[in-house]
Structure 1
């Protein structure tokens, strides 16, 4: 797909970009700049054109938790903490993402943090409460 080709975007994404572009043009932004801003906004909100893969079916809560966890790992790396140094987030090895944990593991984490109402929460609610 060459740069600028919009064929991989869904109809909904194209309509959204048109609407955003019109809005910018009404505010006096040039046509070219309005189009660029509109597509940048669509890309930011939806991740670009239609894509195949596991990330498309994740809930917003799960994506938020993954981003937060990634930011924590990056901060640890900048500080020089390696995963083998026993950081609290990395105990147990493997994946550290909340969305990859079982409900029982999330419940234990919520119990450790004394999250109120945890026993009645579903998995996605536990992820949100722990994020």
Structure 2
């Protein structure tokens, strides 16, 4: 038998657990084990019962705008094949460097050693 009250679960979560439990029982799993597995599955998928407070954290409009702007800049840099600003090229693997070089279409990249790739990637595009 699963532990704890199920009062904080939504009706949808309860139906889902019941359906999963029936499925396990049809496969021959004992009722108590099936119920425990069903609730474990519901918890894994939805994070448990309803949360107090409802809609989560409040983020100011300015913070949201700044986050979107920096996210857009990172996305553009990624498409150009530039490493993230917080990622050091020396710490990257050769295959990661090769991927960045491929995105930037650097000629001769397949014959370059790691240090040569780093040097080529540091040059402006």
TM-score, L = length of structure 2: 0.51
Quickly say closer, same or farther: Cα 1:43–1:55, change in 2 above 3 A.
farther
Q: Give CA deviations for 1:3-59 in whole Å, capped at 9, x if unaligned.
A: 4211111111100000000000000000000000000000001111111247769xx
- Counterpart in the other structure of 1:26: 26
- Counterpart in the other structure of 1:107: 72
SS of the residue corresponding to residue 35 of structure 1 reads: helix
SS of the residue corresponding to residue 49 of structure 1 reads: coil
- Counterpart in the other structure of 2:9: 9
CA RMSD of aligned residues (A): 2.8
Q: Which has more helix, going by share of residues?
A: 1
Higher RCO, Cα 8 Å, sep 6+: 1
Q: Separation in 2 of the partners of 1:22 and 1:39?
A: 12
Q: Which runs of 4+ in 1 moved over 3 A?
A: 53-57
Which structure has the greater CA radius of gyration?
2
Structure 2: segments with no counterpart, 5+ residues: 58-63, 81-125
TM-score, L = length of structure 1: 0.48
Q: Give CA deviations for 1:58-87 in whole Å, capped at 9, x if unaligned.
A: xxxxxxxxxxxxxxxxxxxxxxxxxxxxxx
